[in-house]
Amino acid sequence: MSNLERITFDPAICHGKPVIRGMRYPVALLLELLAAGVSVQEILGDYPDLEADDVFAAIGYAALAVAAP
């Protein structure tokens, strides 16, 4: 599974916003935590369903979103 395959969209989950692996963890939540200075390890400790690659997928998704023309 590539990192970006971890980002999913489903109208029945979080109103179709991008989430991690079909779970109710919005990409925006992870990005907000990182922007607030929360470390990847802290995020993983607080959200045991997540994996490090999920956090990196969120970062990669954000990078693609801002790079789009």
Q: What is the pTM of this model?
A: 0.91
Residue 1: per-residue pLDDT = 47
List pLDDT tens digits, range 28-56: 999 999 999 999 999 999 999 999 999 99
- Calculate what percentage of the chain has a pLDDT beyond 70: 96
- The Cα 22–Cα 10 span in angstroms is 7
Residue 2: per-residue pLDDT = 66
Task: List domains and CATH numbers for the chain.
Answer: 3-67 (1.10.10.10)
Are 27 and 20 spatial neighbours (Cβ–Cβ below 8 Å)? yes
